[in-house]
Amino acid sequence: MSYKFLKKDSKIFKAAQGELKRQQEGMEMVASENYVSPAVLEALGSVFTNKYSEGLPGKRYYGGQTYTDIIESVAIERAKKLFDAEHVNVQPLSGAPANLIAYSAVLQPGDKILGMDLSHGGHLTHGHPATFSAKIYKFIPYKTSAAGLIDYDDLAALAKKEKPKMILAGFSAYTRQLDYKRISQIAAEVGAISMIDIAHIAGLVAGGVIPNPVPYFDIVTTTTHKTLRGPRGGMIICKEKFAKQIDKAAFPGLQGGPHMNNIAALAVALGEALLPSFKKYAAQVLKNAKVLEQELKKYGFKIIFGQTDNHMVLVDVFSSKNITGKEAEIVLDKIGITINKNMIPDDPRGPSDPSGVRIGVPAITTRGMKEKEIRLIAKWINEAMEARNNEKILARLRKEVLKLCKKFPIYK
């Protein structure tokens, strides 16, 4: 990466160089992150950033749309093919706006939504009181059982009692496969719209390694930058009957001009996701996460929800190793492994220093790491947490992490 022109702005140039080095020399294990391809980066940095394109391909409010229409149409067609979708809107600026667009498209203020509790793996935008959407809609949380699964009978009973307008599935820290059919049946039984947020698993669905929820749900939202390995952004997939409402809610309802450079980059990423190599990538993500789960269990870590069926594990480090989530995050950061502290179901500790950590494998799998490397990483995670105050051991582990990262270079 030459940053030929950026060099003139030394502050930003230095920060960009620093971030590049941090990504190259560290092990990125935040479950929601990934490394985009150089082609996606080029599209992001393209002149499409200069263009205003309110409206949809062929129906814009400003002139000069010959090429923006091409990229947006290509992105939509590729997304439709990848997810077997009836309708796709690629304009949401990211996941939180995508969810708000979806709610506002089909609900009225005050309507009820059943959404998964944040500490049970849900997401802030699925009803946390701190969000604006929770001020507009009445969210009722549902939870996981002690065994780590959603109790679908309980969910059905809750839906009958509350009569919500929407049942919302999806998560940011839950690791088990959802029963799409059951959730959509429960929604149908009470006359609710079914929606799922697949931000975390979109790439695994696209790669065909976990089932596609699109046939089951009225509305599917996602980000585009996690397992899907595209630029930062959002996307809404829906049944044709909701298409007009969704498009209008995106623009002019909640957004202005779409970010066309992101849409160009998304089209590129979706093209990459259609290739056979992406299927291999997605399959390797699942294998790596499973090995991580099994190795961590061997070292005595408690895996929340019992196991993983996707790209991440949620670990109760407090009960396993007597270290808080925040301390674990700091210790791993010292050895060059980046993760995030995370609440566990009904966490007795607060969100700023919870009992757990969330660890994901999408980014390191993009680097080419496989089972052998995951075994080493699990060993280092355990050693680092056990030797948390021993700077000498931590320094040695930092060197080992660096050596492995150099064997799997990115952006060279």
The residues assigned a catalytic role are: 52, 54, 197, 223, 226, 232
Whole-number minimum distance, CB 223 to ligand DSN, in Å?
7
Spell out the alpha helix ranges (H) of 370-409. Answer: 371-386, 391-407
- At 84, list the tokens: 């077997």
Whole-number minimum distance, CB 199 to ligand DSN, in Å?
6
**Total of chain residues touching ligand DSN, rule CB under 6 A:** 4
Distance CA 36, CA 197 (A): 21
The residue assigned the tokens 């064997």 is: 407
Return the residues of window 83-112 that contact ligand DSN according to CB under 6 A.
Answer: 95
Whichever of 197 and 247 has its CB closer to ligand DSN, that residue is 197
Answer yes or no whether residue 172 interacts with ligand DSN by CB under 6 A: yes
The residue assigned the tokens 């502290």 is: 341
Return the residues of window 118-157 that contact ligand DSN according to CB under 6 A.
Answer: 123
For helices 66-83 and 260-273, angle between their N-to-C axes, nearest 10 degrees = 40
Return the residues of window 214-253 that contact ligand DSN according to CB under 6 A.
Answer: none
Whole-number minimum distance, CB 123 to ligand DSN, in Å?
6
Helix (H, G, I), strand (E, B) or coil at 235: strand
Whichever of 103 and 242 has its CB closer to ligand DSN, that residue is 103
Whichever of 172 and 324 has its CB closer to ligand DSN, that residue is 172
Whole-number minimum distance, CB 86 to ligand DSN, in Å?
26
DSSP codes of every residue in 98-114: HHHHHHHHH--TT-EEE
Whichever of 174 and 242 has its CB closer to ligand DSN, that residue is 174
- At 312, list the tokens: 């991440």
Cβ distance 333 to 27 under 8 Å?
A: no
Closest residue to ligand DSN, Cβ-based? 32
Distance CA 255, CA 276 (A): 35
Binding site for ligand DSN (CB under 6 A): 32, 95, 123, 172
